[in-house]
Amino acid sequence: MGKGRAFDEIWGHGGPDAPRPDFAELSRWMAETPHAELNRRQQAAEATFRQLGITFAVYGESEASERIIPFDIVPRIFLHDEWQRLSEGLVQRVEAINAFLQDIYGERRILKEGVLPPELVLLNPQFRPEVAGIRPPHDVWAHICGIDLVRTGPDEFFVLEDNARTPSGVSYMLENREAMIRLCPELFRSFRVAAVDSYSDMLRETMRSVAPERSGTTPVCVVLTPGHFNSAYYEHSFLADTMGVELVEAADLLVDDDIVYMQTIAGRVRVDVIYRRIDDDFLDPLVFRPDSMLGVPGIMSAYRAGNVALINAPGNGIADDKAIYSYMPEIVKFYSGAEAKLPNVETWRCREPQALKYVLDHLDEVVVKLVDGSGGYGMLVGPTASKAEIEAFRAALIAEPHRYIAQPTLALSTVPTLTESGLAPRHVDFRPFVLTGSDGVRVVPGGLTRVALKEGSLVVNSSQGGGTKDSFVLLPKGQSQQQTQVQS
């Protein structure tokens, strides 16, 4: 890693003077707009985010230290055909995730046929025996998926992680676009960019489509938040607001005779669909953690009775578990009958002795992750780790190998990013959002690009100092904005 130059999404393998052919115009814009002007616009965007309160709370710090996620003004751009291929892969993957969840909590064909080791699923802490036998309305489990991707070359995309529980970041996708339209309108004249602001309508349609049969044509939909101290609260309120539905907390809900109601100033109102942004553990103290104050007692029983749709379905964690991830190519093949269009990053399962041996021999080259870790915690990035860190991980791996996976350090693609010393390449990843309703799977033309702001760093997590960029998906040549909106 770090020897050869990584693929840059705009500059290719060339550089500012020899960008990829489709991006000559963007390169010219970057060269011609003075650094101070780019800086000014970037600061204006960040000032707006602060004023709007588009912040995330850092746990353990006081409320005054709410942070905004740094915003970078240079967009990352997908050509139309790149996006087309990516979308097909995403749809295939999310369909497989849904089929897997349905199967695992139902017939378990995939275990019976020996594709997955049963203990890996059934003894997995993310597997919820409480959910077994439940069929969610319309058999949809993973209504909203955020699939984290990385890229290493023009046609080399890899899935880094599947998020099938409560993927966040969609509000940044939408606010970043707002900021770009205000601050860099000239870019939208140079590039015809697919609109992302239909996301809220699509989400609302998705919610409506999975309402229990009895709720009729205007089901009551709500967004359930743990409350305004949660780090993603801005997003919860944003989504409720733009969909025009109530944002509720657990205390607003009650379950009576297996029916969920919200308490309004006019009395109880029956609820049909809940987009819950509370983890399974905290959803229902009668079924999951009894000490949870966040949950709604009885909500699982209403769900089991088919009286309410929960988005995403409880139990989904088994599909985005890092140990299951390594089997995703087999899972896709098992349910779709075809090879996965989007490959995984090569993954060594340390529970397997041969893989463990390889990882131990190459600790200074690989990334080691806890299977149940997140947010950039509990991982070793071999090439940049100190001797002591490597030895600490070696001991941990030998003690509990089943808790770890390892992956090669990829030459993640870069995108030009505004730094103190001008525009420079910085590593990025990408999270597109995939919606599944009773009528099919849709990919929103855009997503969240996260960028590692430190030179050479591969860690893009916002809790580790990463920033975000707008992500343009270009329309096919000759198609106008209006046409796509009508078609979507």
Binding site for another protein (CB under 8 A): 50-53, 63-64, 227-228, 233, 237, 240-241, 246-249, 251-252, 262-267
Burial (CB count within 10 angstroms: exposed 0-12, middle 13-18, buried 19+), residue 197: middle
Q: Whole-number minimum distance, CB 223 to another protein, in Å?
A: 9
In whole angstroms, give the CA distance from residue 41 to residue 33: 11
Residue closer to another protein, measured from CB, 62 or 482: 62
At which residue do the structure tokens 């291929």 appear?
Answer: 85
Residue closer to another protein, measured from CB, 190 or 263: 263
Could you give the maximum distance between any two Cα atoms of the chain, in Å? 68
Residue closer to another protein, measured from CB, 265 or 486: 265
Which 3 state secondary structure label does DSSP give 87? Answer: helix
Burial (CB count within 10 angstroms: exposed 0-12, middle 13-18, buried 19+), residue 229: exposed
Residue closer to another protein, measured from CB, 237 or 464: 237
Residue closer to another protein, measured from CB, 264 or 485: 264
Residue closer to another protein, measured from CB, 99 or 223: 223
- Token pair for 162: 């599947």
Q: Whole-number minimum distance, CB 249 to another protein, in Å?
A: 7
In whole angstroms, give the CA distance from residue 134 to residue 197: 34
Residue closer to another protein, measured from CB, 53 or 106: 53
Q: Whole-number minimum distance, CB 227 to another protein, in Å?
A: 7
In whole angstroms, give the CA distance from residue 83 to residue 77: 10
Enumerate residues 6+ apart whose C-beta is below 8 A from 394.
360, 363
Q: Whole-number minimum distance, CB 481 to another protein, in Å?
A: 24
Residue closer to another protein, measured from CB, 84 or 264: 264
Residue closer to another protein, measured from CB, 245 or 367: 245
Contact 230, 236 (CB under 8 A): yes
Q: Whole-number minimum distance, CB 49 to another protein, in Å?
A: 11
| Pairing verdict, β 467-473 and 448-451 | antiparallel
Which residue, 341, 330, 204, 170, is CA-closest to 273? 204
Q: Whole-number minimum distance, CB 269 to another protein, in Å?
A: 9
Burial (CB count within 10 angstroms: exposed 0-12, middle 13-18, buried 19+), residue 427: buried
Burial (CB count within 10 angstroms: exposed 0-12, middle 13-18, buried 19+), residue 409: middle
Q: Whole-number minimum distance, CB 260 to another protein, in Å?
A: 14
Q: Whole-number minimum distance, CB 251 to another protein, in Å?
A: 7
315-344 burial, b at 16+ Cβ within 10 Å, e below that, comes to bbbbbbbbbbbbbbbebbebbeeeebbbeb
Q: What is the DSSP secondary-structure string of 296-325?
A: -TTHHHHHHTTS-EEESPTTTHHHH-HHHH
Residue closer to another protein, measured from CB, 39 or 263: 263
Q: Whole-number minimum distance, CB 242 to another protein, in Å?
A: 9
Q: Whole-number minimum distance, CB 222 to another protein, in Å?
A: 9
